[in-house]
Amino acid sequence: MVHVGIGYDVHQLVAGRKLILGGVEIPHPKGLDGHSDADALMHAITDAILGALGEEDIGHFFPNTDPRWKGVASSVFLEEAARQVLPRNGRIVNVDATIIAQQPKLYPHIAAMKKNIADALGLREAQIGIKATTNEHMGFIGREEGIAAMAVASVDLP
């Protein structure tokens, strides 16, 4: 039976941080603030997979009060989500995600993001969908105060 999970994440854009999305460092005057590398895309996908398993969320597995996860690459979280699938004899069918960012333009980085996410999850790039859209200058995303990501994952479980 195919189970579906949803994930959403948002981080604040601040000066003095690297902008990392889908494991790609993207040149930009501001980066996402957070305990880890603040990769909102990988966090949303992690939660989507955990959600499809009926598991607790990313904050339960990786509390932002735990110094072990300070500054860590968020591929670690994706790898853990994929590892949670194994003892259930399941397999991730596909992942699809949308990044919502007013700036910068993300399209040139999408292919590299797909590769990083596929590698972390042990999937093929064709199983990973990533889109980027702006917020048409509305709200906190439109004012470039933050970047959000949403994701769904489908997991085939016996």
Span from 7-15, 62-70, 75-83, 104-112 in contact with Mg ion (CB under 5 A):
7-15
Which residue's beta carbon is nearest to the bound Mg ion? Answer: 43
Which of 5, 9, 37, 50: binder of Mg ion (CB under 5 A)?
9
> Taking the complex as a whole, how short is the minimal distance between the CB of residue 131 and Mg ion, in angstroms?
19
Which of 30, 43, 109, 114: binder of Mg ion (CB under 5 A)?
43
- Contact between 30 and Mg ion (CB under 5 A)? no
**Total number of residues that touch Mg ion (CB under 5 A):** 2
Report how far apart the first and last C-alpha atoms of the chain are (Å, whole number).
6
* CA–CA distance, 108 with 22 (Å, rounded to integer): 12
> Taking the complex as a whole, how short is the minimal distance between the CB of residue 109 and Mg ion, in angstroms?
19
> Between 75-85 and 110-121, two packed helices, what is the crossing angle to 10 degrees?
40
* CA–CA distance, 97 with 155 (Å, rounded to integer): 15
> Between 75-85 and 40-52, two packed helices, what is the crossing angle to 10 degrees?
10
* CA–CA distance, 148 with 43 (Å, rounded to integer): 10
Span from 2-10, 24-32, 114-122, 135-143 in contact with Mg ion (CB under 5 A):
2-10
* Residues at the site binding Mg ion, with contacts judged by CB under 5 A: 9, 43
